[in-house]
Structure formats: C-alpha cells, structure tokens
Amino acid sequence: MKILGCFKVVPDLDLIVEEDWNIENHLHIDTGYAKLIWNCFDEGALEMMLRLSDLSEGLNVVYKLSALTIGRQKTESFLKTLYALGFSEGARICVEEEEEILFSPEMISEGIANYVKKIEGQDVILTGIQSSDGNNKMTPYLLAEKFGWPCITQVIGLEPIDEEQLKVTSQVSGGCIVRKVKTPCVLATGNAPCSYLRIPTLKAKMKLGKRPVTRLMPEDMGMSETAESVRVTALNPINRKRNTVVIEADSPQEKARCLYEKYLKERLSEL
C-alpha cells in the first residue's frame, strides 16, 4: 500500500517576539528568524505512518511511505530526516516565499494532487488538519474533492489490515470511532497523543539520509494557474493583555499564602 504524508515546515510561532505581532498594513508576518519545526499535526501524521509500518512486520502487507512538502530549500533537511527514518520517497515542490503558501490552500492542494497524479500514485494521502501559520483547515478536504476520495478527519491512530484496507481511529465528540476503511482515502490527522516524531540514529542518518530529494517546480504541478477563491485583505494584531499584578515575597510559600488570602479565598468561597 502506498501512503503519502504531506507536511509543512513552519516557523516556531512561540518564538516570535511580541513586537512582530503588532505590525499593521502587512498581509504576512516576518517569521524568517524563527526556528523551523514540523507543523505539529503533520508531525503526528508522519509518526503514525512509521508506526503503521512497524506494526505490519510479520503481516502480509507492505507499506511504501513517501513524503511531500511544499516550501523553501531549508525544508529539505526535514525530508532527509524522513529518509533516515525509513521513508522511501521524499519530494519538495520548490516555493521559496513563505507568504505564497500561507493562505493558499487551493494552490497547495492542486500541487499535491498533481504530484500524486503525475509523479507517484498513492492509495492513501495523510495530512495534518491545519498548519500553524495559515490555519486554513482546508487542504485535506480539498484533496478529497479533487480525487473524489472519502476523507476521515481528526485521525489519531492507524493499524494495518491488508493491502486494501486500514484500521483508522479518529477522535469525535465524546469518544473515538474505530473504522475499517477501504482505500483510497484522505486522512486528516488531529491531536494524536504521544506522536512526536522519533529521532533517527546517526548510523541511519549516514546511511539513508543522504539521498537526494526530488525537486519539483510549482508551474509543473499546476500551481501557477490556480487562483484562490478567497483572498486575504488585512491582518490585525490582537491585544489580550490584562493589568497583571505580580505577587512579590521572599519565598514561594509566602507567595502561595498571599495568592490564597488576597485573591483566591473570597472568590472560592463565593462559589
């Protein structure tokens, strides 16, 4: 079974300094200095793929894992990590400007769809439910529509069955649903617990991590002709500050007592 994990490499937004959120008259934020990380939901998706592959050992099913990202040159080191972890294919659609892929889910899904149609056919496409910067929450659903495939959202677990079927666990209100699903399908990964991506060994990095990444151009993937049906027109900062009082005292115990006496006791007794 061929499974494609689509991921975005994003700036760690927790590291963006306050001033940078307070800009006006811009349609994107300069995040160039922030450390790059896996988009959290996509990271969960990639780790789930590896676990699925682990679970298939001894079973009569083989998973071919591929990964695709759309982004800058710098993202290739992430693809090499995936090679070292056992992915057999890694491709990047080369878009060097962050803002071009920020609010462009239609273009992104067109790029992914054309990769699957023209370069590497797939049985399953995995994505995260959204990226941390654009927050569009659209790409997996648009992919499902482009292929006419069914989609399952908020996926938190995958288990092998056979070459045509997967066991998919997804989170829903009040619990989770475990389904046996026929492929092809699109799966959108949600909050999967314990799904930080594993770290490759140095040996695996040396042996597998050096393979070149397949580079594709956006114009060859139909991305240049795609016009978004929704356009960003403004970006506004948000002020969430309160007039914070900092409790000063010599020891943590004293601070706790002050917190309780002055601020909590009455409030809690009123409840």
Pick from ligand FAD, another protein, none: which does 165 bind, CB < 5 to 8 A by kind?
another protein
Pick from another protein, ligand FAD, none: which does 67 bind, CB < 5 to 8 A by kind?
none
Write down the least CB distance from residue 122 to ligand FAD, Å.
Answer: 25
Pick from ligand FAD, another protein, none: which does 237 bind, CB < 5 to 8 A by kind?
another protein
Contact 7, 78 (CB under 8 A): yes
Nearer to another protein, 47 or 76 (CB): 47
The token duo for 27 is 């349609």
**251 CB neighbour count, 10 Å cutoff:** 8
Contact 104, 231 (CB under 8 A): no
Contact 155, 42 (CB under 8 A): no
Nearer to another protein, 108 or 216 (CB): 108
Write down the least CB distance from residue 132 to ligand FAD, Å.
Answer: 3
Pick from another protein, ligand FAD, none: which does 62 bind, CB < 5 to 8 A by kind?
none
According to DSSP, residue 101 is labeled G
Pick from ligand FAD, another protein, none: which does 198 bind, CB < 5 to 8 A by kind?
none
> CA-CA distances (angstroms) from residue 120 to 3, 15, 124, 177?
10, 36, 12, 30
Pairing label, strands 165-172, 175-182: antiparallel
Give the residue closest to ligand FAD by C-beta. 132
**Distance, CA of 53 to chain centre:** 19
Nearer to ligand FAD, 81 or 130 (CB): 130
Q: Given the rule CB under 6 A, which residues bind ligand FAD?
A: 14, 40, 130, 132
Nearer to ligand FAD, 14 or 248 (CB): 14
Write down the least CB distance from residue 108 to another protein, Å.
Answer: 13
> CA-CA distances (angstroms) from residue 58 to 53, 194, 198?
11, 24, 22
Write down the least CB distance from residue 234 to another protein, Å.
Answer: 4
Q: How far apart are CA 76 and CA 91, in angstroms?
A: 9
Pick from ligand FAD, another protein, none: which does 252 bind, CB < 5 to 8 A by kind?
another protein
